[in-house]
Amino acid sequence: MRILPLKYLLTGSLLLYVSTFAAHADESFRVCADPLHPPYSTRQQDGFENKIAELFAKSLGQKLEYTWFPERIGFIRNTLNAKIDDTEEYKCDVVMGVPAGYERTLTTKPYYHSTYILLIAKNRGWDDITRAEQLGELPLPKQKTLKIAMFDRGPGTTWLQKMGLLDQGIPYQTMSGDDKNNTAMQIDKDLKAGKIDMVILWGPMAGYVLSQSPEGSYSVIEMTSTPGMKFDFSIAMGVRFGDKARRDTLNKLIDAHFSELQHIIAQYNVPLMAIPKQAPHQDDD
């Protein structure tokens, strides 16, 4: 849905929206984020979630602050739900990207929808592949030469199993704990080095890999969801359970800046899809 500029929406709801922002102008917009997680966030604040956080903080007249912690098991516990030592104040208030309806946070409405992508390095004998299913149709001797990244979790690995290609998978961890490379960075390096020839990556990470090489370096094939095999997902923002006021403010910001958000994300080569209608979620008490 296209959102009209605020200056054209001088309604009672807008006045309430603006006054709500003014009331919070003396606060900080405090984000929980990974310091090395391109294309989402980095300590240099050059990821697309950084840019969106900057936009929202500016709209609220607030100072942007970060609590940095690697995005791995325990991320929410150590950031959003963690209190500053010897105080009742939490370290940060917003996670800029979580699955819509995420069970560990109260979530906003979705602000983008993407899908997994099959990336195939060109000029390595696979340029005739135009459909992902062709990999499972290859003659067995050709299949045995596949070098495709396989993660410890995610729909890509489930798909490889369905296609009978697990033996050709080269294993990677979704959360490696590597303080020099995140998953997308490591995949980019290994594709360039020839350790792997192809990978099924979540859209934003695939966008990062594409951004690190000259245009046309990869065949780009969108993975299509089927009954029992879902590849496309909606992404929202997360706040603490019970923090409905902050959630509602973020929802207003998403509505007011939706076109800008899509533009920011698209600049990172993220494949964007229409956001499907969401099933209503029961509010927390």
pLDDT in tens, 245-281: 999 999 999 999 999 999 999 999 999 999 998 776 6
Mean pLDDT for the stretch of residues 89-100 = 97
Residue type, 223: M
Mean pLDDT for the stretch of residues 66-88 = 94
Residue type, 235: I
Q: Report d(CA 258, CA 254) in Å as an integer.
A: 5
Helix (H) or strand (E) holding 79: none
Q: How far apart are the first and last CA of the chain?
A: 30
CATH of the domain at 197: 3.40.190.10
Average pLDDT, rounded, for the chain: 89
65 or 277, higher pLDDT: 65
* Same domain, residue pair 19 and 89: yes
Q: Is the residue at 281 inside a domain?
A: no
237, pLDDT greater than 90: yes
Q: Report d(CA 103, CA 88) in Å as an integer.
A: 24
Neighbours of 144 (CB within 10 A): 10
Mean pLDDT for the stretch of residues 189-215 = 97
Q: Is the residue at 49 inside a domain?
A: yes
Percent of the chain residues topping a pLDDT of 90: 80
What residues does 64 pair with on adjacent strands? 29
* Same domain, residue pair 43 and 182: no
Q: Is the residue at 156 inside a domain?
A: yes
Structure tokens given for 258: 């939706």
Least Cα distance to 143 among 167, 121, 127 occurs for: 167
Q: Is the residue at 154 inside a domain?
A: yes
Structural domain span for residue 142: 113-222
* Same domain, residue pair 134 and 218: yes
Number of folded domains that form the chain: 2
